[in-house]
Amino acid sequence: MFNKDYEVYKDEKGKDNRWLFLNREGKAWSDKSRIDLENYVREDEENPKKGEVLWTAKYDEQPDYKQAYESDSSSDGFSSDGFKPQRRYFKMNFRMETKATIKSVKYKGLKYKIKVKAKGVATRIVRKSHVKDEETGEVREVTTFTDNEYVKKISYKVKDDETGDTVDKFKIKGLTKNELKWKCGAFKATKEGGFFFPGPTEVTTEGPVDPGFCLIMAHICATEFSPDEIKRDFKPKWWDCPGYTED
């Protein structure tokens, strides 16, 4: 996880429309790692590029992945003296949970706990081929892998840190399309381009909620807690899968 810094624009992207700045601080999962939402009021002589921090988000723990497995083996059904492919198919269901804290810095008192849960599927096809050199008669073994990961569902829960009350619960939409959507009581957000060609995240604040909270919450949903980042952080342990073999 942990993406680069981002600029927030009031309307269309342009230097004159810069409004706020999302500044990543520290290394991933270190005690100092966080994301600050800053304005462009920069009056600190020791940190001339640092604006006033309005809100900050800190990740409370590394993502925790649970894995469960299914397996099957089959042959592609082709056979010849020179090429004999074999195929094994493995499937893994996984769950992810992680937490973050978002709090107001400029105006003290507001603090929220964010809990994120995700479900997904990973698949691996192991293909083993024996290729015969027609000139020398030597047989060479070749093993190839086809891996895919899919995030099926992501849910978010926001709690008031002081009272423990659940403020909001919502889910991501558009996982199978080229547009991702989030909608809750505080904001609506859209990110076009799907997983492979992500565009800018457009955020519309809702109701009497501090826009700073809306922006930093939408930001971590669309970046650190997005489907693409969840897949990137997931490391399948295929050797723990019952019956798994590359032979």
Task: Please spell the DSSP secondary structure of the chain, one letter per residue.
Answer: -----EEEESSSSSGGGEEEEEEEESSTTSTT-EEEEE-S----TTSTT---EEEEEEE-S--EEEEEEEEEEE------SSB--EEEEEEEEEEEEEEEEEEESSSTT-EEEEEEEEEEEEEEEEEEEEEE-TTT--EEEEEEEEEEEEEEEEEEEEEETTT--EEEEEEEE-TTSSEEEEE-SSEEEEEETTTTS--PEEEEE-SSS-HHHHHHHHHHHHTTTSHHHHHHH----GGGSTT----
Whether residue 81 has pLDDT greater than 50: no
Return the pLDDT at 78: 36
Average pLDDT over residues 156-179: 86
Q: Give tens-digit pLDDT for 219-230.
A: 888 888 888 889
Whole-angstrom distance, CA of residue 188 vs CA of residue 173: 11
Q: How many CA within 13 A on the CB side of residue 238? A: 19
Q: Give tens-digit pLDDT for 110-147.
A: 899 999 999 999 999 988 888 888 888 888 888 889 99
Mean of all residue pLDDT scores within the chain: 79
Domain ranges of the chain: 55-240
Whether 181 contacts 189, CB under 8 Å: yes
Of 50-54, 102-106, 138-142, 231-235, give the lowest mean pLDDT range. 50-54
Return the pLDDT at 2: 41
Per-residue confidence at 247, pLDDT binned at 50, 70, 90? Answer: low
Q: pTM of the full predicted structure? A: 0.77
Average pLDDT over residues 92-116: 90
Whether residue 195 has pLDDT greater than 70: no
Return the pLDDT at 76: 39
